[in-house]
Amino acid sequence: MARGLFVTGTDTGVGKTVVASALVGAFRERGLDVVGMKPVETGCLRRGPELEPADGAMLREASGGEEPLSAICPLRFAHPLAPLVAAELEGRTIEQGSLMRAVRELAARHDALVVEGVGGLLVPVAPGFSVADMAREAGFPLLVVASAFLGTLNHTLLTVEHALGAGLSVAGVVLCLHRAPGGTLAEETNPAALRRLLPVPLLGVFPFLADLSARSLAQGAREALDLGAVEKHLRAV
């Protein structure tokens, strides 16, 4: 069976790609053959004949560049919308069987895979197929990335509650300072509050980084996250 993690978020723009790339880089520093993948990305910019997936490119860099971008991010759309809506606007169809086959094929070439979803768990990918369904079919435990700022208690608890209620395994939650910290009371108190309220572990608070190079991201993961706890889930079959 394939091994891996499925990184989801409480919303879009909360730092999923940053945390997923950081984990991939940190695990590779530990000698693990891990690669990152974003099966579908929207909001891609056109560079010549191709749509360029910014998140996919960051994951590929963290993965050592050994896999082609077509394997890291096989489905790309220009509109910055939920995949189902973006596909409809572009006159395309997302076939979930093909999408999940791409995940399985990449996983088969490596010891473990870190898969990044799109937005949150209930984002529609295809008719009757959400990000939560993608995670279920991948068979990997969830790692939930949440904003470190005001409003995160509700969003994080709702996401974890839905995941557990849907029968998904949740490895834990990572708070992410996805923009420069403001020193607010919410930022100061959210980690302790979530440690009390969550039914799963809070695995750390990922710092705001101006430098998003693969080396800097891996260092951030080493210093801020409980990599040992995450690795146990990554290695689980």
Q: Which residues are catalytic?
A: 38
In order of 13, 58, 207, the CA distances from 123 in angstroms are: 14, 22, 26
Q: Burial of 221 by CB count in 10 Å (0-12 exposed, 13-18 middle, 19+ buried)? A: buried
Structure tokens at 215: 């080396």
Q: Burial of 69 by CB count in 10 Å (0-12 exposed, 13-18 middle, 19+ buried)? A: middle
